[in-house]
Structure 1
Amino acid sequence: MVLVLLIVLVTFLSLNDLLETVAARDPTLTVIIVGAGMSGISTAKTLSDAGIKNILILEGTDRIGGPIKKTKFSGLSVEVGANWVEGVNGKEVNPIWTMANHIGLKTYYSDYDHLPANTYKHMGGVYEKSIAQKAYDTADGISEFSKNLSVALTSERKEDISILASQRLGSHVPSTPLEMAIDYYTYDYEFGEPPRVTSLQNTEPLPTFTNFGEDLYFVADSRGYESVVHYVAKQFLTTNKAGDIIDPRLKLNKAVTEIQYSRSGVVVKTEDGSVYKAAYVMVSASVGVLQTKLINFVPDLPAWKLLAIYQFDMSVYTKIFLKFPHKFWPTGNGTEFFIYAHEKRGYYPIWQQLENQYPGANCLLVTQQPESATKAEIMEVLRNMFGKNIPDATDILIPKWWSDRFYKGTFSNWPIGVTRYEYDQIRAPVGRVYFTGEHTSEHYNGYVHGAYLAGIDSANILIKCAKWKLCTYNVNPKRDINLNANATRTSNDLTYWQLHEKQLRE
């Protein structure tokens, strides 16, 4: 009789009803957080601090930290993801810098001032310092022009353009190997994508350096950069005597595959068949993951939300570590960073010798996009710089962020034409589904501090709804922009045009 009743029950219940019946075993959850990177952990802590402690964090991998990730390489602990605390010693204090100092994280100041003396030709050694310095000064000048142009365009409510377009307006588009290498260092090295696809108004001037300072510190600590994420997590999650997190509200290896949402709540399903129910869900997956079908939303996210997500870019910033039997590159003060100027733009241009961070390890770090690097290519570049008799690398590490289904890239980049209107839509909740991540940070997308601050901001939006029933999220209307390039100039237009004409005269 029991078996017959069970068959009848399954027959008449829809799949959704069945899932909600199973999930109802734990009806006390207020919020499920999808992802335990910096944004997810920051969100959870903010909720906990506000008294919302009946939360559950579901992480698809076997660790917390997201793209802040260490690994072993030739006996060293290196960072395959985020590596720098960027924005230090400014008028405001970067919260990540505060955490790093609090836990005694080993960091090293990155000194880029000596690049003109360490810029290598495609073939034939180092550029004369005076020649390289002139090229760097020119690049600084056009960058300053771009910043002023961005401010003028924004204040006069003009349409966004690319950084490359601003270079064209300034009558200087990098074209020689030296100019292209410096251009890569100036922009791609920071944003993970070239100037032709990067928004001018949303990246120049860059709030990270304007607000927090222009200094950068390289993290090289056996505990890993991820220890700052653990520091935040341990402020609200239970740990054992050894300091390990044992809180049942954090569940690892729980890859979320489906999120059902309705007016009454959410049902979250994971790859292993587990089902969880809560009043709200906070999704901290990267914008790259949201652009895939890893997580199925039921019903589908509305068109306005999908369009906003699909318009944003996900960069692939690849750091390649190499170990050699001995050093063959310059060492000492002023030699940490060096540039390689190849006739092909972005061909292994930025190099760093890691003697300060890992004394005696004989390691180099090179940055390359996209993920098409090979050991043979890298060795050819090094032999062009340092001679044919240098030894082969004994070990090489090339992270594959794009092919990792849990990340699909490294961090977001603000593309041309995406305004604060689309940004508001990216961050906006859909019913009981809320969103966070570095890509939702209004001023600091792409940075660790952006991920941390975005978690706080997104949590506060949810708190207003969960605690105070203030569930309306306003997206300001898209501003009217005069798209008519032939429109008659007015007195309000002169600032932009005068700036352009002044640069042309100079």
Structure 2
Amino acid sequence: MEAAYVIAEQNAGYVLTENLQDTSMRAAFSLAGWKPKKDMHAQAVDWWFWDFEAAYPPEESGFLYGIAGYNLTFYQWSDENNFVIDQRGFNTFIISEANEFLMENDPRLMLDTMVKSIAYGPQGVNVTFEDGGCIEAEHAIATFSIGVLQNDIVEFEPQLPRWKREAIEQFQIGTYTKVFFQFNETLWDPDTQYFLYADANSRGYYPIWQSLTGPGFHEGSNIIFTTVVGPQSYRIERQSDEVTKAECLEVLRAMFPDKNIPEPIDFKYPRWSTEEWAFGSYSNWPVGMTLEQHQNLRANVDRLWFAGEGTSAQYFGFLQGAWYEGRDVAQRIAGLLNGPDEHVQCDNDTTIDCGLMAFYEVLHGTTFLDEFNVQNGWPVSSFLDYGYEG
């Protein structure tokens, strides 16, 4: 699998430089010589290499952008890709940033406030809340997740243009579920971080177990957790904690048959796809999504702007994607407020032109109408209507 992944990386570079058609990640792996077929051990390795990161299987993930996005993150920041164990919580840096411009109990920060609708146009934006309150602004940045946008939680007035809605519906929001267990003692090798489990019947059935009791984590905590994604996440979200716990304990007992695995002293897992402010965990690049269509996901509509990890072409699914996209949009708006011809200099020596972001109202495919012909295996017109009575 490692050898096949290297080949897939090289092939992705060739597809990018030669402007070739993208494929699925599954096709790319197969072309690189990796075909797990019905071998459940190979399927577990397959899940470990791809689903564990993308939250989608290779069949549903785009090849070129999946490889490029993954490589950009791990080649730039691999040494900083750490499991966060800071007891203050992951939002500590966000709070620290906010403290630079928000006062204590600042009324501008409106928590626990549900947005009902957003009216936008060339003159400004009006945001209405469920409690009837509203905010008017010259510009607004919507950082809703792809899941929230796809579930029509917020009404846009007027309706977002078709090119924007198509991009929203085409992109993917993955669900990534970690199921945590804490025991009275560490029943597994404390020096091993990851354990890989291959179920005999189901791919992705509690396949990865990660220990937090070892060096550099929560030493001596006796905590271990397993990860599931996609359909398995949706399945355990619908069932009770007790059913999920029983399933996991059965897996642990199969993994460590020489150990007496007791009931845990603590147990917990989230249900991300049911959270109305998220409807999932993070985004994934699907098969068939082009860079131009993704740009339509990023692009503003009049004075309504969009940001978040899902709008990042290079870092979708990662924290830095949300960071860079938010900064980019904020700089554009700041430039507009300072003057229509303003340019913004970025940290990486690039310049942002303020104003409307690029978008593609019409996106064409690669096949012209006259190519639907006999030579290409299309002898009958798709617009045939004789013989139909209705």
- Give the alignment's TM-score, normalised by structure 2: 0.82
Distance 1:381 1:360 in 2: 22
Which of residues 416, 421, 424 is equivalent to 2:287?
A: 416
In the alignment, what sits opposite 1:340?
197
Distance 2:312 2:150 in 1: 18
In the alignment, what sits opposite 1:454?
325
Which of residues 285, 294, 299 is equivalent to 2:144?
A: 285
Distance 1:462 1:372 in 2: 42
Matches for 1:83-122 after TM superposition, within 5 Å: none
Instruction: Give secondary structure in 1 for the equivalent of 2:43.
Output: helix
Distance 2:81 2:53 in 1: 12
**Does the C-alpha gap of structure 1 residues 184 and 253 become closer, same or farther in structure 2, counting only changes over 3 Å?**
same
Which of residues 357, 361, 375 is equivalent to 2:245?
A: 375
In the alignment, what sits opposite 2:67?
204
Matches for 1:51-90 after TM superposition, within 5 Å: none
* Deviation readout 1:267-291 (Å, 9 max, x if unpaired): 1111111111111111011011011
1:471 Cα deviation after fit: 2.5
Which of residues 90, 111, 127 is equivalent to 1:225?
A: 90
Instruction: Give secondary structure in 1 for the equivalent of 2:81.
Output: strand
Contact 2:300 2:356 survives alignment (8 Å): no
Distance 1:232 1:203 in 2: 31
Instruction: Give secondary structure in 1 for the equivalent of 2:190.
Output: coil
Which of residues 209, 214, 225 is equivalent to 1:351?
A: 209
In the alignment, what sits opposite 1:174?
36
In the alignment, what sits opposite 1:474?
358
* Deviation readout 1:325-372 (Å, 9 max, x if unpaired): 32211113xx11111111321111111111132233221111012233
Which of residues 296, 313, 322 is equivalent to 2:155?
A: 296
Distance 1:250 1:181 in 2: 45
**More RCO (CA 8 Å, sep 6+):** 1
1:394 Cα deviation after fit: 2.8
List alignment gaps of at least 5 residues for structure 2.
237-243, 341-353, 372-390
* Greater CA drift, 162-171 or 469-478: 469-478
* Greater CA drift, 452-461 or 305-314: 452-461
* Greater CA drift, 378-387 or 201-210: 201-210
Contact 2:182 2:267 survives alignment (8 Å): yes
Distance 1:453 1:215 in 2: 17
Letter in 2 for 1:285: F
- Give the alignment's TM-score, normalised by structure 1: 0.64
Contact 2:206 2:227 survives alignment (8 Å): yes
Instruction: Please provide the CA RMSD for this pair.
Output: 2.2
Question: Percent of counterpart pairs with the same letter?
Answer: 34
In the alignment, what sits opposite 1:32?
none
Which of residues 332, 346, 364 is equivalent to 2:224?
A: 364
Contact 1:413 1:446 survives alignment (8 Å): yes
Contact 1:159 1:417 survives alignment (8 Å): no
Letter in 2 for 1:350: I
Contact 2:302 2:356 survives alignment (8 Å): no
In the alignment, what sits opposite 1:385?
255
Distance 2:314 2:364 in 1: 19
Contact 2:5 2:32 survives alignment (8 Å): no
**Does the C-alpha gap of structure 1 residues 193 and 214 become closer, same or farther in structure 2, counting only changes over 3 Å?**
farther
Distance 1:471 1:330 in 2: 57
Contact 1:159 1:482 survives alignment (8 Å): no
Instruction: Give secondary structure in 2 for the equivalent of 1:352.
Output: strand
Letter in 1 for 2:93: V
1:478 Cα deviation after fit: 5.4
2:130 corresponds to 1:271: yes
Letter in 2 for 1:303: R
Aligned length: 341
1:167 Cα deviation after fit: 1.7
In the alignment, what sits opposite 1:28?
none
Which of residues 25, 36, 48 is equivalent to 1:163?
A: 25
List alignment gaps of at least 5 residues for structure 1.
1-138, 240-245, 485-506
Distance 2:29 2:152 in 1: 37
In the alignment, what sits opposite 1:324?
183
1:463 Cα deviation after fit: 2.7
